[in-house]
Amino acid sequence: MIRKILAISGKPGLYKLISRGNKSLIVETVDEQKKRIPAFGADRVVSLGDISIYTDNDSEVKLASVFESIKQNYGEKPLDLSAKKASQEDIIAFFAKVLPNYDTDRVRVSDMRKVLSWYNILTANGITEFVSQEEETEGDTAEKE
């Protein structure tokens, strides 16, 4: 599910991929309005499934795993912590609880705020399945080998 959720540089919020047009993607806002707009080749479009967070041991953790960790620690509802209004110390403490081994040199507070904001948008709109069943079974198979 998270692979079809997109972030578009320069545009606020998150978008769901609806279809592909001629030289563009047709996306829909992930909110109550469900407004459809085109995303062109000049727009920097990134799937949330492709985003990873740096960790201390020179590896990366998928954003979906970070969202799952937030869900386990705080539940499937939007958090009371506001990405815009919370202090820098509160954001760092929140992220340290969710992903204790994040790389403090490469992960900025602005990145943490974005993760918090995206989680709140997704859960407020009923999207709480971050890791699909296929990804879980692929991960289990890879661990057994």
DSSP output for 48-73 = GGG-EEEBTTS-EEEHHHHHHHHHHH
Number of compact structural domains in the chain? 2
Domain membership of residue 100 as a residue range: 51-132
Q: Is pLDDT at 144 greater than 50 in this prediction? A: no
The CATH number for 106's domain is 1.10.10.1650
Q: What SS3 string covers 82-145?
A: CCCCCCHHHHHHHHHHHCCCECCCCCCHHHHHHHHHHHHHHHHCCCCCCCCHHHHHHHHHHHHC
143 domain residue, yes or no: no
Give me the mean pLDDT over the 107-121 stretch: 92
pLDDT at 135 over 80: no
Query: Is residue 72 in some structural domain?
Result: yes
Cβ–Cβ < 8 Å for 2, 130: yes
Whether residues 6 and 34 fall in one domain: yes
Is residue 59 located within the same domain as residue 99?
A: yes
In a domain, 140, yes or no: no
Single pTM value for the model: 0.83
> Is 66 in contact with 98 (CB distance < 8 Å)?
yes
CATH of the domain at 11: 2.30.30.730
With respect to residue 145, please indicate whether it lies within any of the assigned structural domains.
no
- Going by pLDDT thresholds of 50, 70 and 90, the confidence category of residue 140 is very low
Q: Is residue 7, in this structure, part of any structural domain at all?
A: yes
Same domain, 84 and 73: yes
Alpha carbon separation from 63 to 22, 49, 136 (Å, rounded): 30, 7, 14
Question: Does residue 70 sit in the same domain as residue 127?
Answer: yes
**29 shares its domain with 67:** no
